């Protein structure tokens, strides 16, 4: 008959099984071996650092090794499988003429981008100049209206003075 156990005792019993620890240990050694084969020293250092730090928090080596493999695997993926630069280094290009052509293409792209930026700036300054012209025209119109208002006040005051007498 199967005895019912609490979940904490059940998980503790599973995590302490020697065959599970052996299996996870072999996977961890293989993981470190793959990283060493690919000369990924950072991921190996992260694996051992995480293992060392986690050993203070838990006694279950299955958990420690699994977490260490996952985190170091993330570092390994970030370095090896991440975005690769489209531009090759001079050391990767065998032909110096090809490298010179690549440089010229990049300089042409930079020049084209700079020209686009200059055109956008010119359009922006033109728009600002047009808006400034509209504002000046409105200012002239406002000052003309103020002059008319002042003349109207003078005429009104004259009429007012004439009618008082």
- Is there a domain that residue 98 lies in? yes
Q: How confident is the model at residue 91 (pLDDT cuts 50, 70, 90)?
A: low
Range of the domain at 107: 92-165
Residue 87 lies in a domain: no
Tell me which of 51, 80, 109 is where a domain ends.
80
* pLDDT tens for each residue of 28-66: 999 999 999 988 899 899 999 999 999 999 888 899 999
Last residue of a domain, one of 80, 104, 122: 80
Is 85 inside any structural domain?
Answer: no
Please give the model's pTM, rounded to 2 decimal places. 0.44
| Same domain (yes/no): 97, 149 | yes
Q: Are 72 and 64 spatial neighbours (Cβ–Cβ below 8 Å)? A: no
Average pLDDT over residues 11-19: 80
Domain count, the chain: 2
Is the residue at 86 inside a domain?
no
Boundary (domain end) residue, out of 80, 109, 129: 80
C-beta separation of 35 from 72 below 8 A: yes
pLDDT band at residue 5 using 50, 70 and 90 as cut-offs: low
pLDDT of residue 118: 93
Same domain as 13, residue 71: yes
Query: Six-digit token pair at 127?
Result: 């728009």
What does the block give as tokens for 35? 């990283």
Spatial separation of the C-alpha atoms in residues 135 and 129, rounded to whole Å: 10
Task: Provide the token pair at 120.
Answer: 């956008």
Given pLDDT bands bounded at 50, 70 and 90, which one contains residue 95?
confident
Within a domain: 134: yes
């Amino acid at each position: 008959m199967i005895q019912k156990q609490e979940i904490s005792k059940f998980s503790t019993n599973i995590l302490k099984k020697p065959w599970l620890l052996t299996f996870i240990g072999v996977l961890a050694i293989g993981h470190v071996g793959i990283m060493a084969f690919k000369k990924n020293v950072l991921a190996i250092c992260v694996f051992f650092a995480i293992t060392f730090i986690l050993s203070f928090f838990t006694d279950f080596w299955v958990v420690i090794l699994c977490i260490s493999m996952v985190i170091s695997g993330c570092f390994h993926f970030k370095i090896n499988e991440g975005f690769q630069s489209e531009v090759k280094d001079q050391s990767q290009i065998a032909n110096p003429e090809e490298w010179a052509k690549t440089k010229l293409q990049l300089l042409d792209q930079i020049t084209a981008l700079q020209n686009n930026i200059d055109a956008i700036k010119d359009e922006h300054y033109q728009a600002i100049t047009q808006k400034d012209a509209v504002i000046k025209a409105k200012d002239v119109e406002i000052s003309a209206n103020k002059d008319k208002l002042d003349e109207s006040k003078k005429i009104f005051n004259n009429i007012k003075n004439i009618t008082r007498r």
